[in-house]
Amino acid sequence: MTALHELSVAELSQALRTRTVSSVEVASAFLSRIEQHGPGLNAFISILREAALAEAERADARLRAGEAGALIGIPIVHKDIFCTRGEKTTCGSRMLANFVSPYDATVVQRLRAAGVVMLGKTNMDEFAMGSSNETSYFGPVRNPWDLQRVPGGSSGGSAAAVAARLSPAATATDTGGSIRQPAALCGVTGLKPTYGRVSRFGMIAFASSLDQGGLITRSAEDSALLLAAMAGFDERDSTSVELPVPDYAATLEQPLTGLKIGLLKEFFDNGLDVGNAQRIRDALEVLREQGATLREVSLPNLPLSVPTYYVVAPAECSSNLARFDGVRYGYRCENPRDLLDLYQRSRGEGFGPEVKRRIMTGTYVLSAGYYDAYYLKAQRVRALISADFERAFHEVDVVIGPTTPTPAFELGAKTADPVTMYLNDIYTIGANLAGLPAISVPCGLVQGLPVGLQIIGPHFSEPRLFNVAHCYQRETDWHRRAPPGYV
């Protein structure tokens, strides 16, 4: 029999419902792998063995009682940005190193209700600000394909854990590429849903007009099964959308005949590694063989997405992170002289260098005399980028390109200059600015390192994205390949 850690969510679901295996056995198998491989990768901030086994027992009781839910007894790991009742929720920061959440995020609550078993909380860039997982207060995560390389970020722990088969699935969040970029660099499937599709309640805020919760899994099929349980209207999130959640699994197998794919001209620029470009062209050929047609589309304002993002995101971050004041929760400095000293030192000592950099950038662009020149200007360019996508979707059903310019880079390679690091997100940020859903699927290796194919669709086109990604994965096996050493 195939080892449990090699099974997909769909296969585990089948095995659990036919009682071939129990939820406790599944959870134990993955917990052992987490304890064996987790520390070497530094993928976890908390491992929740006892709580997980108790949840697994409850799942087994539900299965014994004949409950039909497809996700009962399926293990998952949560990015440590999602609040989990009674457990530490650190957001990768010293500021929240001892914070125990009094409530569950809606995402966590819904998955719990569906019978999903939480095994642990994954490492991440501090407050999700980073593209390499090197800004975590708890140290960098390592890429299971090469331990000297970064897993990407900010959801680096979630991506590394799924790639190394320490969990069949992980939750993650994406503000400028934080699901898709680490998924691409670790050889797994990463879905960023449409803005408003998944509740942001209990998901610690970074940039609220861009933040969106999603999933890292091995396959699009697994992502579809889990999104169905996570998505949907939540009155506790003021930007949650009141639309029914489709049956994502039902449309996975739809034929691609007649699918119009737009090739994003601006993505195939000088910055794209030739190896990555070749893998993307190979993948497009696979889709064309299934009846899809290709044409080039141009989004002329897309090259401005990085500068736009680095005004909008820091501005929202500086506002959101003002809540950390050393008074109500979080880190407090020793012996404050007065209230101002308490605020300033608690924040100065509690936040790491990248978070402070973004708070200061945001403070600057919002300050008197600069607001129009930076913030309003960026919001106008954001409208131009969004309109570019809208025009493209009049001509094509989805647009496709690379997820990242290169495969995973070495630890420390881009920490000296933040702008070099920021430019790594050049292909992912556009979807966040326009609020569009996007998925990254593994499409090959370049010098032994994974490369991701990115598919972006119109608002609420998740069924189409899953369909295209699934049809690609039916014909290829890149998503089945485990990093050597984690087979």
User: Any idea how long the chain is?
Assistant: 487
Q: Indicate if 79 belongs to the active site.
A: yes
Reply yes or no on whether 356 is catalytic. Answer: no
**By CB under 8 A, what part of segment 195-254 binds another protein?**
195-196, 209-210, 235, 238-239, 241
Here's the x/- map for another protein, 132-151, by CB under 8 A: it reads as --------------------
The span from the CA of 3 to the CA of 142, in Å, is: 24
154 close to 170: Cβ distance less than 8 angstroms:
no
For another protein, which is the closer residue by CB, 2 or 328? Answer: 328
Residue closer to another protein by CB (options 208, 254) is 208
Q: Which of 79, 121, 192, 414 is catalytic?
A: 79
Q: CB 37 → another protein: shortest distance, Å?
A: 32
Q: 60-83: string of b/e by CB count within 10 Å (b at 16+)?
A: bebbeeeeebbbbbbbbbbbbbbb
> Over the Cα atoms of the chain, what is R_g?
21
| CA torsion, ordered 451, 42, 44, 310, to nearest 10 deg | -60
Rule CB under 8 A: say whether 342 interacts with another protein.
yes
Q: Does 188 bind another protein (CB under 8 A)?
A: no
Specify burial of residue 382 (Cβ count, 10 A radius: 0-12, 13-18, 19+): buried
Kindly tell me which of 36 and 98 has the beta carbon lying closer to another protein.
98
178, 199, 346, 461: the active-site residue? 178
Q: Which of 283, 289, 316, 236 is CA-nearest to residue 403?
A: 283
Nearest distance from C-beta of residue 356 to another protein, angstroms:
6
Site track for another protein across 348-387, x = CB under 8 A: xx-x-x--xx-xxx-xxx-x------x-xxxxxxxxx-x-
The one segment of 139-147, 165-173, 433-441, 442-450 that binds another protein by CB under 8 A: 433-441
Structure tokens that stand for 180 in this block: 């898709």
Q: How far is the CB of 97 from another protein (least distance, A)?
A: 12
- Does 280 bind another protein (CB under 8 A)? Our answer is no
The amino acid that residue 65 corresponds to is A
Among 30, 44, 82, 99, binds another protein (CB under 8 A): 99
> Looking at this protein, which amino acid is placed at residue 217?
T
Taking the C-alpha atoms of residue 143 and residue 332, their distance in angstroms, rounded to an integer, is 33
Q: Which of 13, 154, 155, 461 is catalytic?
A: 154
Does the footprint of another protein cover residue 106 (CB under 8 A)? no
User: 183, 188, 304, 443: which one contacts another protein (CB under 8 A)?
Assistant: 304
User: Considering the rule CB under 8 A, would residue 336 count as an interface residue with another protein?
Assistant: yes
Nearer to another protein, 145 or 310 (CB): 310
CA distance 248 to 223: 9
Q: Contacting another protein (CB under 8 A), which of 270, 340, 394, 477?
A: 340
By DSSP bridging, strand 169-174 and strand 117-122 are unpaired
Distance between CA atoms of residues 476 and 287, nearest Å = 11
367 catalytic residue (yes or no) = no
Alpha-carbon distance of 325 to 316, in angstroms, equals 17
- The span from the CA of 440 to the CA of 183, in Å, is 7
**Site of tokens 């980073």:** 130
Q: Which one of residues 3, 147, 250, 339 is an interface residue with another protein (CB under 8 A)?
A: 339
- Write down the least CB distance from residue 447 to another protein, Å: 29
* Smallest separation (angstroms) from another protein to the CB of 113: 20
Least Å distance, CB 285 to another protein, is 33
Side-chain half-sphere CA neighbours of 370 within 13 A? 10
Least separation in angstroms between CB 369 and another protein: 12
Residues forming the active site: 79, 154, 178
